[in-house]
Chains A and B, each alone.
Chain A
Amino acid sequence: MLAGIAAAVVWMLVTPFYNLFLTKAAERLTRLGERPPVTRIELSHGQDGLISRADSRVRGLPYAVRVTDIHFPLVLLFALFLGTPDVDRRERLEALGYALLITVCFDVVDLFFWVKFVYATQLGSWSLRHYGPLARNFWGLGKHLLDLPVKLALPFALWAAFYLRRLTGEPAVEPA
């Protein structure tokens, strides 16, 4: 319970900075595949990522994605890692650090998929002109999977990767 409250407080404090970081990182990632780089993701109202393009006026843009919705599972991640009993402080921080690193990378990729999903499926005739059926399905399914099951299950999967042996009673180190 305490871990959950602490997690929510930390998350709320970090959110404004993290939103900014995520929009910029996803913008960079999207631009890596563009010649010339045209995608812009600007933070609006502190929590919406406004997706737009510099090259043309496309009907449907700017498109708002709530960035906070992408990374709220961080609360769950913090709660699980901080709430696990009988863990050495250093071990706990190390595990939390690795888990955070993986989660940050995931969040950037999730927002990137959001951008591609918007381009491929949400912009009407522009989407149909620039993305074929296979691409539309790929970005649509990818965004759906990343933004729902993977996003929700990732904190638990990471926690299990570090602490599953505490449940099964297996040794932490492989025998020689």
Chain B
Amino acid sequence: MSLFGAISISASGMDAQRVRAETITENLANADTTRTPEGGAYRRKDAVFSSVPMGGTFASALFDASGGTSDGVAVSQIRVDETEPERRYLPGHPDADAQGYVAFPKINPAEEMVDLMSASRGFQANVTAISAVKDMIARSIDLFR
């Protein structure tokens, strides 16, 4: 039963990395957004991961009772960057203040791209783990032949 548990855990990892990639692409897409529904410039968002015990199956409950737990991962929070936005001098800009400065999101595209690569590699690692477990399950089924 725990082989299927391993698949759920890897799936939770894939899910979390996907949310992270979505957040990063949102940041990249909004790198120059000066208007948001909340008012002001777009603020950078960050997915915060935390480990969560995977439960639900009888087998996992049994393992939990005997002291062994395996944790999946979940996005516990989307943290919004509260630091001051970057101010650029653009007097002709429609969102410029009285001094001619425009507040732009503090987003470093290089940093976001590195994060995106990390999310993508994390996703791939989870996919590899699922393939390995699928192979093991196939071998178990093979015993019936």
Does chain A bind chain B?
no
Taking beta carbons and an 8 Å cutoff, which residues of B are in contact with A? Answer: none
Taking beta carbons and an 8 Å cutoff, which residues of A are in contact with B? Answer: none
